[in-house]
Amino acid sequence: MAAKIIDGKKIASLTRADIASRVAQLKEESGVAPGLAVIIVGNDPASQVYVRNKKKACEEAGMYSVVIEMPEDTTQEALMEQIETLKENDRIHGILVQLPLPAHLDEEAVIAAIPPEKDVDAFHPINTGKIMIGNYDFLPCTPAGVMKLLEHEGVEISGKECVVVGRSNIVGKPQAMLLLHANGTVTICHSRTKNLAEITRRADILVVAIGKANYITGDMIRPGAVVIDVGMNRPAGGKLCGDVDFASCSTVAGAITPVPGGVGPMTITMLLENTLTAAKKAVEKNCKNP
Ligand code: NDP
């Protein structure tokens, strides 16, 4: 039987409408519009598209947004100074530095310079630690988007076998943590995992984030499994595709996300959610310490 297609575009659009109405409410109650600043260093075309999309999504949700473009040869010092300026700017509640940065810049130091309360990507070590503990303000956007998709589809996580393939700091590791907090029984796989197919076949919920086009095939999944494909690959001359081979998996899975139109649209949606959260927290803080 063909799997149910999880329509990330539709779920993202519903969620963004809800965020827009909460933004309008915040503005009405406090006069504050959530503000996001995105810093982009260099001319990477993919990064430029992502940044444009983030700005557009912010504006559609009624948020204030600025994009700060810095040249490829920006020094570490100049980037740090820019972050420092945004730190002090009361109109800006979220600061995001588009990654990857040019190789001469120290990414770790840049992430650590963003104040945790404005770290809407949730990459700062303090926010990462809070995710581990399960007491967080912000979640990294992609894993949070996956959780939202599962919630929207009414997928029960508690007690289920969850397998996450990929262990990056921005997707795999936090994804595993969120599934664990939702009481899933979680296994994390990576490039050194032996007998990957044996493990993926155990999954009731399989999340794949490896960056390898069409790597997971229908024989590697359990009949009826919920399959979430985070991958975004553009093979030379080919069309955008995921890490999951949609053709073979969609006849075995119970539900599956397509690429494009699955996890992708949820990532920016969760960035909007985080920016709104940051603005609300700033308003609450100002009410306490006017
Ligand atoms: P990284 O390259 O940082 O991490 C890839 C992970 O996959 C690593 O942990 C690696 O293992 C593991 N891996 C690689 N090959 C295999 C394999 N053959 N078997 C098992 N594990 C393997 O990638 P990201 O996490 O940043 O991104 C993953 C994918 O998700 C990419 O396609 C990216 O474009 C996409 N993405 C999509 C987003 C969206 O909004 N939809 C947002 C972010 C990412 P090891 O640690 O051992 O090297």
Which atom of ligand 1 sits closest to the CA of residue 267?
40
Q: Answer yes or no: pTM beyond 0.85.
A: yes
116: three-class secondary structure by DSSP: helix
The predicted pLDDT at position 288 comes to: 76
Task: Kindly state if the Cβ of 239 falls inside 6 Å of ligand 1.
Answer: no
Distance from the alpha carbon of residue 115 to the mean position of ligand 1, in angstroms:
27
Task: Kindly state if the Cβ of 191 falls inside 6 Å of ligand 1.
Answer: yes
Are the beta carbons of 86 and 118 closer than 8 angstroms? yes
> What is the full per-residue pLDDT of the chain (290 aa) written as tens digits?
799 999 999 999 999 999 999 999 999 999 999 999 999 999 999 899 999 999 999 999 999 999 999 999 999 999 999 999 999 999 999 999 999 999 999 999 999 999 999 999 999 999 999 999 999 999 999 999 999 999 999 999 999 999 999 999 999 999 999 999 999 999 999 999 999 999 999 999 999 999 999 999 999 999 999 999 999 998 888 899 999 999 999 999 999 999 999 999 999 999 999 999 999 999 999 887 76
Distance from the alpha carbon of residue 255 to the mean position of ligand 1, in angstroms:
21
Please identify which of the residues 82, 98, 160, 175 carries the catalytic annotation.
98
The predicted pLDDT at position 160 comes to: 98
Strands in the chain per DSSP E? 4-5, 35-41, 64-70, 94-97, 161-165, 185-189, 205-208, 226-229, 255-256
Task: Kindly state if the Cβ of 142 falls inside 6 Å of ligand 1.
Answer: yes
The predicted pLDDT at position 152 comes to: 97
Encoding tokens for residue 249? 């998996």
Task: Kindly state if the Cβ of 228 falls inside 6 Å of ligand 1.
Answer: no
The predicted pLDDT at position 287 comes to: 83
Distance from the alpha carbon of residue 143 to the mean position of ligand 1, in angstroms:
13
Phi, psi of 187 (to 5 degrees): -120, 135
Which atom of ligand 1 sits closest to the CA of residue 259?
41
The predicted pLDDT at position 229 comes to: 98
Distance from the alpha carbon of residue 64 to the mean position of ligand 1, in angstroms:
32
CA dist., res. 62 & res. 186, Å (int)? 38
| Residue 130 designated active-site | no
Distance from the alpha carbon of residue 210 to the mean position of ligand 1, in angstroms:
3
β-pairing verdict for 94-97 and 35-41: parallel
Task: Kindly state if the Cβ of 172 falls inside 6 Å of ligand 1.
Answer: yes
Please identify which of the residues 121, 229, 243, 245 carries the catalytic annotation.
121
Task: Kindly state if the Cβ of 67 falls inside 6 Å of ligand 1.
Answer: no
**Residue 109 Cα distances to 76, 174, 255, 259, angstroms:** 9, 20, 40, 33
CA dist., res. 101 & res. 25, Å (int)? 36
